[in-house]
Structure 1
């Protein structure tokens, strides 16, 4: 057969020669079994994923890519909310720095994508649409898992071993459940380090945006805007230790004696009727508030004479102002005092009389006390009342057993302890929380240990959660006599407190990735400064007077009331 004829025959349908092997049938049979096994395994995986989704555990998208709610990263949510609030208030100053898409809705709920590599090789992805792949945070976490690997962070990924991978997977499976407790998964040092590393990576887009804004703000020369921006940029994960002395008093004189108002200056100003208040400001100013500036003609001259060394470190400023020290009356609930007539056993109800339960404390005998202000509940009107639930009527919850005297000469102590009636103790939620967690560890800190750039927060019965910054660490009011442990807080978005918020606990969040510790520094007393200067150099708007709680609890301790919060630990 010629070559042409042979090709023509193949085109017309003749069969090619086929060489058979003796084990062809065995190979075909093995191939069929392998295909059946693979199909069954895929079917089992899909059934497992369906069962997980029905149980609320469908956060894992594939074997290589996981999705979880961003509630697994509380510090990310905290920084995000503060940044959104900043963008909302200063949008006109941002210039060409357009906010990230993820920063446009402060009530947004995001999912976080985690890519997992086993032994350096990305597993084969399977498409499993379960809704979690939508609204994903812009930064993706990349992890490498090796059997004997130790925790390590590289430019490309977070390295962990298989045990850590399993704990992380369990946390992802649980984190959308209502009673999710994050500490259960990230309590040991290795997992805590992994969580902190992940949080730092996820926060990169926000810090990148803030750094761009900072460059634009420097050109504007706005000091207040720049200060708040610096506060945001400092919100990075740190180890749970006290801030350095340098950071605490960066804008204060280095010598501690010069960080306090000298006694001769305090005595002089307290005797002046025209002086309504004075204090040390965060920016290095010593501010004196007077009711009429024309009466204070010689005030500046005399102060500079008697405090010449002190004013080498502090800038003296005198402002005409009026102090409106209106005492504002589970953590954050309303509390009502009893009427002046004890025989009536009735509460005084109204915005001018109610206050806030700052929190609950207990003594060594397991007695439980509600902590609030002494001008809300005191020994003169001992009985205290509250709602046990949202829609329940007001009823008696206990009696005041300790009360500081706000106007007593020699000291200022605006706290009181209301001992809860025994049959109601089970209705008290003892744990303290912040905006993102209901059950936090607590430390009670001296104000001097708090960084000047820390955001402060409170939860009140009237205004709920608010955020502010410390305006003055030491402030003296001439309408309340004696040594002051008051400090001033300025609200970041409107007022820090309103009537009915008295008694709210003022705290700082410890900057760890779990956001599981609050550093309690004070209690809201109330009041505000009414500016009278036509060209004010200092902004007194949205100010609130707060009382240093560390000092108040020490006074209670000397009166045989040694109390502490639930989950309280020693400060660093």
Structure 2
């Protein structure tokens, strides 16, 4: 332990506090005791204790710690004790954090601010926080009065555009936002909705789920697309989710309510490895559809459909009805060419940390990669199955990977076989667009 004229600083112990917190206390200690800059290095080396000093000797092996600057020494310790998290992972955690039941708006925003520390949102942090309230099916479950909630949102939105475009209602203590359906939401085939036997046998949701529809087999709405000429609205998913043409399609218009009919299947691919289906949305529901595609920051974006068959080990994303937003990496074809009897059209995506990129219920999710332009993504394909039933040789990278098919082939075959020319709905241009 070392003492100063004002206060004292104990040796650094990573079991008690983080290096970031300790460094802030050091700065305050130096300020309070008017420690000159040229004395900060010897003071630091004296105060941190023998274990941390020995660590600094290792981190600065080419020369003694006292030969380094104060900034260099603290940076080395920070990088050792508090390595900077990956931005893509921290943003994933941020966008997965939903408001908990009984959690006030103020508490929820405080939790989001903490999660945003390493997300590098910078000048758009407040906009990003506010946008969490625009997520489909988001319900702010708290006892606060409407005026209090509006005031809280105003602190995030100086122009009050959110409050101008949304109606907040207080119903039994809950704030409810007009529901919408969109990319990544659950999608149910008509032939299972009234099948009580199927409900009992379904294994697509956990047994302790509070979801009223957890016993109904479901897939994922990949995206909404529009017909190029008529501008009619269509949804895309997997054929095994909607296996029959002219089959009714159901979705949850209101969270946890019984699914409602939203459209009817108009196309199912006949290609064995192209598990693709299209349904037409009912006209009266179009205004409740989030038509534009969203990136992994849950922001509207434009879409370019990847052309050709060549893929690299790109980092990709998807939003599934079961696992939500996940990030993975395309596996090299050499890893699985002997397992899948097609050269082109199918690719595998592995999750990070030997985790799954997608699970049962995520079939139909659209897989995409980010482009240099923040307003555009490149859509590659669609999730349609897992490898665990095909491959079981104790290689998690393959066994836990997800099978996807190229979407450019599917859309091309749709045009040839059905005459339907579909495109992703362009986002509305804003003055801030750089491309």
TM-score, normalization by structure 1: 0.40
Q: Deviations over 1:48-103 (max 9, x none)?
A: xxxxxxxxxxxxxxxxxxxxxxxxxxxxxxxxxxxxxxxxxxxxxxx996254653
Q: Give the equivalent residue in structure 2 for 1:550.
A: 408
* Equivalent residue, structure 1, for 2:98: none
Answer yes or no: is 1:469 the counterpart of 2:329: yes
Q: Is the 8 A contact 1:357 1:370 kept in 2?
A: yes
> Does the residue aligned with 2:331 lie in a helix, a strand or coil?
strand
Q: How does 1:415-494 map to 2 (within 5 A)?
A: 415-446=276-307, 448=309, 450=311, 452-473=312-333, 485-493=345-353, 494=355
Q: Check if 1:334 corresponds to 2:186.
A: yes
Asked whether 1:178 is paired with 2:38, we answer no
Structure 1 stretches of 5 or more lacking a match?
1-94, 110-130, 141-167, 181-329
CA contact (8 A) 2:292 2:425 kept: yes
Within 5 A, what are the aligned runs for 1:138-149? none
CA contact (8 A) 1:431 1:438 kept: no
Contact in 2 for aligned 1:336/1:347 (Cα 8 Å): no
C-alpha distance in 1 between matches for 2:301 and 2:221: 17
Which residue of 232, 238, 241 corresponds with 1:376?
A: 241
> How many Å separate the matches in 1 of 2:225 and 2:196?
25
Equivalent residue, structure 2, for 1:504: 365
Report the equivalent of 2:257. 392
Deviations 1:281-319 (A, max 9, x none): xxxxxxxxxxxxxxxxxxxxxxxxxxxxxxxxxxxxxxx
Is the contact made by 1:102 and 1:137 (CA closer than 8 Å) also made in structure 2?
no
TM superposition shift of 1:523: 0.1
Query: Does 2:376 correspond to 1:520?
Result: no
Distance 2:195 2:399 in 1: 39
- Find the residue that maps to 1:552 and give its secondary structure: helix
Shift of 1:533: 4.4
- CA contact 1:351–1:500 (8 Å) conserved in 2: no
Residue 7 of structure 1 is matched in structure 2 by none
In the alignment, the residues of structure 2 paired with residue 540 and residue 507 of structure 1 have an alpha-carbon distance, to the nearest angstrom, of 20
Alignment of 1:126-275 (within 5 A): 175=127, 178=130
Structure 1 residue 442, shift from structure 2 partner: 0.7
Distance 1:478 1:178, change over 3 A: closer
Secondary structure of 1:467 counterpart = strand
Q: How many residues align?
A: 263
Deviations 1:188-245 (CA, angstroms, capped at 9, x unpaired): xxxxxxxxxxxxxxxxxxxxxxxxxxxxxxxxxxxxxxxxxxxxxxxxxxxxxxxxxx
CA RMSD after TM alignment = 4.2
Taking a change above 3 Å as real, the CA distance of residues 177 and 417 of structure 1, as seen in their structure-2 partners, is same
Partners of 2:248 and 2:261 within 8 A in 1: yes
Check 1:478–1:406 CA distance in 2 against 1; reply closer, same or farther (3 A cut): farther
Distance 1:447 1:489, change over 3 A: farther
Report what 2:422 is aligned to. 563
2:358 is paired with a residue whose SS is: coil
Q: 1:421 to 1:539 in 2, by over 3 A?
A: closer
Q: Distance in 1 between matches of 2:383 and 2:124?
A: 38
Distance 1:519 1:554, change over 3 A: same
- Note closer, same or farther for the CA distance 1:177–1:375 as it changes in structure 2 (3 Å cut): closer
Cα 1:172/1:423, change in 2 over 3 Å: closer
Q: 1:173 to 1:373 in 2, by over 3 A?
A: closer
Distance 1:507 1:337, change over 3 A: same
Give the Cα separation in 1 of the matches to 2:384 and 2:371. 23
Q: What is the match of residue 218 of structure 2? A: 354
- In 2: Cα distance, 1:347 partner to 1:520 partner: 37
Instruction: State how far apart, in whole Å, the 2-side matches of 1:331 and 1:544 are.
Output: 19
Partner of 1:495: 356
Partner Cα distance (1:347, 1:425) in 2: 32
Q: CA deviation at 1:356?
A: 0.1
Contact 2:363–2:384 (CA<8 Å) still a contact in 1? yes
1:375 Cα deviation from its structure 2 partner: 1.0
8 Å contact kept, 2:276–2:410: yes
For 1:339 and 1:531, the matched residues in 2 are separated by: 31
How far off its partner does 1:437 sit? Answer: 3.7
What are the within-5 Å matches in structure 2 for residues 293-372 of structure 1?
Answer: 330-339=182-191, 350-352=202-204, 353-363=217-227, 364-372=229-237
Deviations 1:7-58 (A, max 9, x none): xxxxxxxxxxxxxxxxxxxxxxxxxxxxxxxxxxxxxxxxxxxxxxxxxxxx
Contact 1:337/1:382, CA 8 A, preserved across alignment: yes
Structure (1 or 2) with the larger CA radius of gyration: 1
| Change in 2 beyond 3 A, CA 1:418/1:477 | farther
Give the aligned partner of residue 237 of structure 1: none
Pair 510,351 (structure 1): closer, same or farther in 2 beyond 3 Å? farther
